[in-house]
Structure 1
Amino acid sequence: MTAESAQDPVQWPVPPQGGWTVDDLFTLPDLPPHTELIDGSLVFVSAQRIFHADAIDMLMSGLRRTAPPEVKVKREMTVVLDSRNGPEPDISVVRAEAVRSRAQTYFKVADVLLAIEVVSPDSEARDRNTKPQKYAAAGIPHFWLVEMAGQDDRPTVQVYERGEATGTYVLTGIHHDHVKLSVPFDIDIDLTAIDEL
C-alpha cells in the first residue's frame, strides 16, 4: 500500500435505508461502467474473459444480420424492470421505436423482446438464476443463456421462451454449433464463427 492510497481510500456508496432505486442508478456520480441494480443493491462488474466479448460480438453480428426493421439489437444497456431492478443484459433485442436518441441510457422492460446473458465466472448465479427469473416475471418473452463449453471453448446457447400461463421460462432448445430459430424473428447464427474473432 502506498502512502497515496492510504490517504485516499475508495469511498463506496452507502445505500439508503430500503436500498437503491433505478433513479439512484442513473444519478449517482462516479459509478463504475456497467453497474447493475438488483433488488435495490448495486452490482459492480469485474473484468471479463475474451470469450465474453467475442460471444457478444458474434451474437450481435448474427442477430443484426437477420433482424427486421421493427427491432434493434443493442449491447450492455440497462433495462428498467421496476423501481429496484435495473439489470444490464449483455444483449437486448428491443422494439425499434424504443430507441429514442443516442444519449439514451436505458430501455423500459415492455420494449424488450429478447434478453441475452453471457455467463462470466463472477456472475454465474445472477446470469443462471436471478436475472432469468426477474426477466420472466417482468414479461420479457425470450431469454438466451450463453456459456463457454466443450473442448474448443465455444458458446453453447440455451434458448428459453416465456409461458404466458406460468410467467416463467421454458427451455426450448440447446444449440452448440448453430442457432436457427423463427422467434422472436428469423435467426440463423453459426456459433463456430467465434473462432474467426
Structure 2
Amino acid sequence: MCDVDDTEVHDVSSALEYWPAPPPWGWSADDLDHLPSKGPNGEPDFFKRVELIDGALVFISPQRRFHQSLIRGLTERLDAEAPSHLSAVQRMDVKLGERTRPRPDVMVIDAEAAADNARTFYQAREVRLVIEIVSPESVERDRKLKPLRYAEAGIPHFWRVEESDGRPVVYVYERDPATGAYTPTGIHHGHLAVQVPFPFEVDLDRLVT
C-alpha cells in the first residue's frame, strides 16, 4: 500500500492498491477517464459500467429490455423534436463536481457539446434535461440521491421513469431557482406532453412495445 498524503496528487494505479476499498483520499471525477480496461484481478470490462457518486464508485446493473427500449426510444424522439441548439444523448457522464460523475440514461444537452466526439463527459452547465429510468437496484439513487445532486448542480429539468404493470410512468420535475430544488410538475401515464425544455409529446406505451 502507498502512504497517504492529502497534498499529493494520486493516480488511478495507486488508488487501485486499496481495492476493493476506496483509497483514503477518495475517487475523483477525473479518475474515471483513467480506469484500466481490466479489473484488479484481470476481469474484462470491469469498469465499463461504473459511475461516481459522492466519491464512491457505483457499478451499474445489466439493463432489462424495458430499460433499453425506453433509453433508445426517448433518445430518438427527443433528438428528433429538439430545436437545433439542443441534442439528446444516452449513457454519457455528466460531471457535477470533483467527486460526482453519474451516467444518466438520457440527457438533452447543448448541440455544440454533443458535436465534440472526443468528449467523455459533459459539464452540468451544458445539460438541460436529465432522465433516469429506475431499475430495481437503483431506486434509492434515482428517487433521492441523484435528483438532489442534479438540482444542486443547476440542471433545470429532471425526469424519472418508473415501471407500473409493465408500462412506463414519467415523473417530471423543474428546478425552482428560488430554492435550488426540483418541484414536481406532473405524473404522466401512457402519454407524455410537456412544453419545457422544449415542446415534446410521445406515446409512452409504444416505446416499450
Q: Aligned with 1:15: secondary structure?
A: coil
Aligned pairs for 1:9-88 within 5 A: 12=19, 14-30=21-37, 31-88=46-103
Task: Give structure 1 stretches of 5+ with no counterpart.
Answer: 1-10
TM-score scaled to structure 2, two decimals? 0.84
The number of residue pairs the alignment matches comes to: 184
Q: Given the alignment, which residue of 159, 175, 188 partners 1:162? A: 175
The residue number in structure 2 matching 1:137 is: 152
2:66–2:208 contact (8 Å) kept in structure 1: no
* Partners of 1:47 and 1:195 in 2: CA distance: 17
* Partners of 2:139 and 2:208 in 1: CA distance: 23
* Partners of 1:85 and 1:145 in 2: CA distance: 19
Deviation at residue 154 of structure 1 after TM alignment: 1.0
* Partners of 1:50 and 1:195 in 2: CA distance: 8
Percent identity of the aligned residues? 48
Query: Alpha carbon RMSD of aligned pairs, Å?
Result: 1.4
Aligned pairs for 1:169-188 within 5 A: 169-188=182-201
Task: Give structure 2 stretches of 5+ with no counterpart.
Answer: 1-17, 38-45
Choose between structure 1 and 2 for higher RCO, CA contacts under 8 A separated by at least 6 residues.
Answer: 1
* Partners of 2:116 and 2:79 in 1: CA distance: 19
Deviation at residue 65 of structure 1 after TM alignment: 2.1
2:89–2:107 contact (8 Å) kept in structure 1: yes
Matching of residue 128 in structure 1 with residue 143 in structure 2: yes
TM-score scaled to structure 1, two decimals? 0.89
Deviation at residue 137 of structure 1 after TM alignment: 0.6
